[in-house]
Amino acid sequence: MRRLPVLPLLVVALLASLACSGSGGSDPDVSDADAAESDAVDTTTPDAAEDAAPEWTEPPLPPQCVGDFCAASATETPDPEAVGPFPVGVRTYTFVVPGVFNEDGSPRTLVTEVWYPTVESAREGQKDAIDLVAMAPDWCKPSFGDAVIPPLEIDAYRDAPVRNDLGAFPLVVFSHGAYGIRFQNSFQTIHLASHGYVVVSPDHEKNTLWEIITYGYDDTTLLPSALNRPNDLFFLMDTFTGKTRDPDDELYGVINPFRIGVTGHSFGGFACFPPAKWDSRVKAILPLAPAAKMAELYLEMRLTEWSFPTFMMAGEADKTLPYQTMVWNAYKDMQAPKWLVDFPKAGHYSFTDMCRLDLEYVIAHMDFPDAEDALKDGCNPTENVSWEKVHAAVNHYGAAFFNWMLRGSEGSKAFLGQDPANSFDADMTLYSETGE
């Protein structure tokens, strides 16, 4: 399994300092939750080459349609904002990373959510729901006290069969924010899966929603998480591209190991950059409200040297990470191809499912001050742009970007040139330099 080299001590120190100052004291990108965790623990990982496996030749992307409604391809250009042709299944895996241990000596364990195209008959079943209290680990449940948080229905079907008769789908890996959770962007991950992607998202252990609810904010977790996150993503890319080669695995033949995208929010936006630099299987990244400038410390390079397909989305009203420093300066430094959608009135949590919760209720019934942060930083109905409009834009541009970069749909480039203010009836600006 690929792992990144240990950083020089000076870089590590700078990374820790920047991570702490950039978090604004807290960056719990919480949100909804998705699915009870599986009891099965997978302790294996396939042997992986440094990059894409040389023994494989990339297969052509076959037509992937439900009736006359087809996913994006060289000949198909679906509306990226509309729900895609596939119903979506969801399931939970638990992996123990061999030979890797947390700061406290415990084996590193990645509880991982997977969304994927499922069969048409799944639509006849009951939709899944995000139940935070039920899904919390036993050691975290007492921290909810007497709070009754209603489950949030999602447009996915728990443990539905994998659609395996249409060839391989591109893989997208999502990284949650500091003190976030693997299902914090279910609006986005489910939308991508409906367009013909297998989307995987881990809990970055020791830096999740469960820890901040139980123990409060602890900035000493940020540096270990910064070092662990990219390796978590490499592990999952190796694991799931290995599953697609295993005739005994339910994902056999379902994932295209050569077409991988990475997306993430905040601290997870930072985590998008290392895989893009060090793994040739990754073709495009989509960081949301990212700590993008911080990536320079990890990459040991200036972003003025960065020329990888990068589509960022962020808000100037972000009170958790400084927009000018972390996003705008990063965008200016990058080389083409690059895009930035700028929302003057979007906050940090506008890009997550956090705003779907009844935050005033959570504030009143739980010792969870970060819910109050969210209400002031993206989920305020009078001061912030509607989170529904931000979500629509994330789905529109995210699906269009990956449809072009991962599915080879040249026609999808046209959707990246639309004036976002006209498309979503919101105050936004789209910046881009394609190098073409």
Say if residue 421's pLDDT is above 80.
Answer: no
- Report which of 157, 3, 29, 8 is spatially closest to residue 86, judged by C-alpha positions: 157
Predicted confidence (pLDDT) per residue in 138-153, tens digit: 999 999 998 999 999 9
User: Residue 183 in 3-state DSSP?
Assistant: coil
* Other Cβ atoms within 10 Å of 412 Cβ, number: 23
Separate counts of helices (H) and strands (E) for the chain: 14, 14
Say if residue 39's pLDDT is above 90.
Answer: no
Percent of the chain with pLDDT over 70: 86
Predicted confidence (pLDDT) per residue in 272-308, tens digit: 999 999 999 999 999 999 999 999 988 889 999 999 9
DSSP β-ladder status, 169-175 and 255-265: parallel
Cα(248)–Cα(142) distance, integer angstroms: 40
First-last CA distance in the chain: 36
Write down the mean pLDDT value for the chain: 88
- Per-residue pLDDT band at 36 (split at 50, 70, 90): very low
Domain 9-433: homologous superfamily in CATH: Alpha/Beta hydrolase fold, catalytic domain (3.40.50.1820)
Single-letter residue type at 247: P
For position 8, what pLDDT does the model report?
Answer: 41
User: Mean per-residue pLDDT for 233-258?
Assistant: 97
For position 4, what pLDDT does the model report?
Answer: 56
Domains of the chain, by residue range, sit at: 9-433
CA 264 to chain centre: 4
**Contact status, residue 292 vs residue 330, Cβ threshold 8 Å:** yes
Tally of CA atoms within 13 A in the half-sphere of 244 that contains its CB: 25
For position 369, what pLDDT does the model report?
Answer: 67
Predicted confidence (pLDDT) per residue in 163-200, tens digit: 999 999 999 999 999 999 999 999 999 999 999 999 99
Q: Give the H/E segment covering residue 382.
A: none
- Per-residue pLDDT band at 370 (split at 50, 70, 90): confident
For position 54, what pLDDT does the model report?
Answer: 39
- Report which of 105, 357, 71 is spatially closest to residue 193, judged by C-alpha positions: 71
Token reading at 270: 């930072």
- Report which of 332, 289, 333, 331 is spatially closest to residue 310, judged by C-alpha positions: 331
What is the 3-state secondary structure of 105-132? CCEEEEEEEEEEEECHHHHHCCCCEECH
For position 272, what pLDDT does the model report?
Answer: 98
Find which of 60-64, 120-124, 418-422 is predicted with most confidence, using mean pLDDT.
120-124
Say if residue 337's pLDDT is above 60.
Answer: yes
Token reading at 262: 């990475």
For position 422, what pLDDT does the model report?
Answer: 73
Say if residue 11's pLDDT is above 70.
Answer: no
DSSP β-ladder status, 169-175 and 88-101: unpaired
User: Mean per-residue pLDDT for 6-34?
Assistant: 40
pTM of the model: 0.89
